[in-house]
Chain A
Amino acid sequence: MKLFKAIGLGLLASAFAIGGAMAQGKTVKIATEGAYAPWNFTGAGGKLEGFEIDLANDLCARMKVKCEIVSQDWDGIIPALNAKKYDAIMAGMNITDKRLEVIDFTRPYASGLHGFATMKDSPLAKLAGLGQRANLDKDPAGAQKILDDWKTLLKGKTVGVQGSTVNSQFLEKHLKDVITIREYKTTEQHDLDLAAGRVDAIFAAHSSMKATLDQPEFKNMAIAGAGFSGGVLGRGVAVGLRKGDAELKGQFDAAIQDAIKDGTIQKLTEKWFKVDMSPQS
């Protein structure tokens, strides 16, 4: 009897949930990767956690819609959006021209730097420009100078990078002729291979690498060289939407604007990344 009661209650609760959602309009389904700490990751209990999960919940509350967050492998995340498996992507995805050809983006809700990390005893730990910022849009000459500096040290090295990302595009565009690029499905996998010594360095977002460095297994890993932004690295992290979904884009834009203005994004980025990563400009 207890079991039936429980099932009955469950049904009732889900009926209410559906009813509630209908009352509020519609449910927005948001996809995330779930393997990109601290942006979005699967916690110890199997639940999705991270900056983007918190932000999505906050934005949905502002937009007064019910949201459902689902996880989806990175390499299929854009095709599945266009196949209407969900309505939005929040997965640390940068706005790039290439992606704008197939999907739309809202205004950016965060921006960060990208760069190399390597083991502390590696010769690559001496890559030039540690702590500096190089912007491929605002200061192309300065950025190119750092890249040329790097090339002598990087020659013949193997670099791990997550496939289909702005990071892999950066390597393909700027350093392809001097390094061997090895593509991984997730950043967690190239972290493991860097620790195992299968690759000499990895190229990823500083934010995600800093989260890796905090783990005891990776205490010998360190960020190397300057942090890059702009160019193929995109114009900040934003919500990905299907083309022509103007209504949802309007809602998201307004909600993100609000969240930047009242300091929610600063608060959340400081909570998850230890630094303020709210978009400049």
Chain B
Amino acid sequence: MRMSGIRVLDAFAQAYVFVFRGSPLLVQIFLIYYGLGQFRPTLQEWGLWGFFREPYWCAVLALTLNTAAYASEIIRGGLQAVPHQQVEAARACGMSGFLLFRRIVFPIAVRQALPAYGSELILMVKATSLASIITMMEVTGIAAKLISQTFRAVEVFVVAGVIYLILNFTITRIIMAIEWWLSPHLRHPPAVKPALDAVHV
């Protein structure tokens, strides 16, 4: 929307990104869960209470809105980093519209944006630890509960940390694999066997 050139859409996207990137995720989760919880009659009228009643969906909504704001800026950065020359070259070859986007702009933009988006994914995994404040029992929540039962803070938190590490290790490997697949120009070209036959002819 920021790149559409339509002023209303641009303003809307800017405001959205400003709000969700500018305020702490913790506050957003609180507002969505406890804040909207106070407007139960209205939400029931709209048939949305079933959704907002569950802490799980509130957490998912808060995390989605938050990560969407960051991701939209990352993708915008990627799209804007596509060199003009390449677009012009594509135009010269007769591509336009969707074809141009699919073949040239999109693959390059994704390649540019991927490392930043990978960090965002990792940040999101870690941000799920905030969901325990709205009674969602995720890794950190369960860790806190175990500590209260056993009073062994160090051991439990080390294990919780390792779980996050494993999750994030998997994600970084996947992102690295995609990056490798998307950047053939950075890899060594396969060694070409000298065409000896041609000499003998």
A residues engaging B (CB < 8 A)? 75-76, 78-79, 82, 98, 101-102, 160, 163-164, 182-185, 189, 192-193, 195-198
B148's contact among A163, A193, A196, by CB below 8 Å, is which?
A: A163
A75 lies within 8 A of B147 (CB): yes
Nearest CB in chain B to that of A77: its residue: B148
Residues of chain A lying within 8 A (CB to CB) of residue B37? 192-193, 195-196, 198
Bound together, the chains give a CA A193 to CA B147 distance in angstroms of 25
B51 within 8 Å of A (CB atoms): no
Q: Measuring CB to CB, which residues of chain B are less than 8 angstroms from any residue of chain A?
A: 34, 37-38, 40, 53, 55, 132-133, 135, 137, 141, 144-145, 147-149, 151, 153
> What are 30 inter-chain pairs, A to B, with CB distance below 8 A?
A75-B144, A75-B147, A75-B148, A76-B147, A76-B153, A78-B148, A78-B151, A79-B153, A82-B151, A101-B151, A160-B135, A163-B144, A163-B148, A164-B145, A164-B148, A182-B135, A183-B135, A183-B137, A184-B135, A185-B132, A185-B133, A189-B135, A192-B37, A192-B38, A193-B37, A195-B37, A196-B37, A196-B40, A197-B40, A197-B53
Cβ of B37 to closest chain A Cβ, rounded Å? 4
- Docked complex Cα distance between A198 and B141 (Å): 19
Apart from A163-B144, A163-B145, 20 more pairs, CB < 8 Å: A75-B144, A75-B147, A76-B153, A78-B151, A79-B147, A79-B151, A98-B149, A160-B135, A183-B145, A185-B132, A189-B133, A189-B135, A192-B37, A195-B38, A196-B34, A196-B38, A196-B40, A197-B40, A197-B53, A198-B55
A63 to B34, CA, bound (A): 43
**B40 contacts A192, C-beta separation under 8 Å:** no
Question: Separation in Å of the B106 CB from the closest CB of chain A?
Answer: 43
Q: Which A residues lie within 8 Å of B148 (CB)?
A: 75, 78, 163-164
A101 to chain B, nearest CB (A): 8
CB distance from A173 to the nearest CB of B (A): 12
A195: chain B residues within 8 A (beta carbon): 37-38
| Chain A neighbourhood of B34, CB < 8 A | 189, 192-193, 196
The closest CB in chain B to the CB of A75 belongs to B144
CA of A75 to CA of B147, assembled, Å: 8
Inter-chain contacts of A183 with B (CB < 8 A): 135, 137, 141, 145
> A256 CA to B148 CA in the complex, in Å?
27
In the complex, residue of chain A having the shortest beta-carbon distance to the beta carbon of B132: A185
Q: Which of B38, B132, B144, B148 has the most CB of A within 10 A?
A: B148
**Residues from chain A with Cβ under 8 Å of B153 in the complex:** 76, 79
Q: Which residues of B have CB within 8 Å of A75?
A: 144, 147-148
**Smallest CB-CB separation from B58: which chain A residue?**
A198
B147–A198 CB distance below 8 A: no
In the assembled complex, the Cα of A98 lies from the Cα of B149 at a distance in Å of 8
Tell me, rounded to whole Å, the shortest Cβ–Cβ distance linking A165 to chain B: 9
- Please indicate the chain A residues that have their CB under 8 angstroms from the CB of B145 in the complex: 163-164, 183
Question: What 5 pairs across the A-B complex have the smallest Cβ distances?
Answer: A164-B148, A196-B37, A79-B153, A102-B151, A182-B135
Q: Given the complex of chains A and B, what is the CA–CA distance between A76 and B145 in angstroms?
A: 10
Which residues from A are CB-within-8-Å of B132? 185
Minimum C-beta distance from B171 to chain A (A): 28
List A contacts of B151 (CB < 8 A).
78-79, 82, 101-102
Q: Residues of A contacting B55 with CB < 8 Å?
A: 182, 198
- A76 proximity list for chain B (CB < 8 A): 147, 153
Q: Which residues of B contact A192 (CB under 8 A)?
A: 34, 37-38
CB distance from A35 to the nearest CB of B (A): 13
- How far apart are the CA atoms of A198 and B133 in the complex, in Å? 15
Q: How far is the CA of A164 from the CA of B147 in the complex (A)?
A: 9
Chain B, residue nearest A83 (CB): B153
Which A residues are CB-close (under 8 A) to B147?
75-76, 79
Write out the residue numbers on chain B whose beta carbons fall within 8 Å of the beta carbon of A184: 135
CB-CB < 8 A to A98: which residues of B?
149
- A187 CB to closest chain B CB (Å) equals 13
Beta-carbon nearest neighbor of B44 in chain A: A197
CB of A84 to closest CB in B, whole Å: 14
Query: Closest chain B residue to A80 by CB distance?
Result: B153
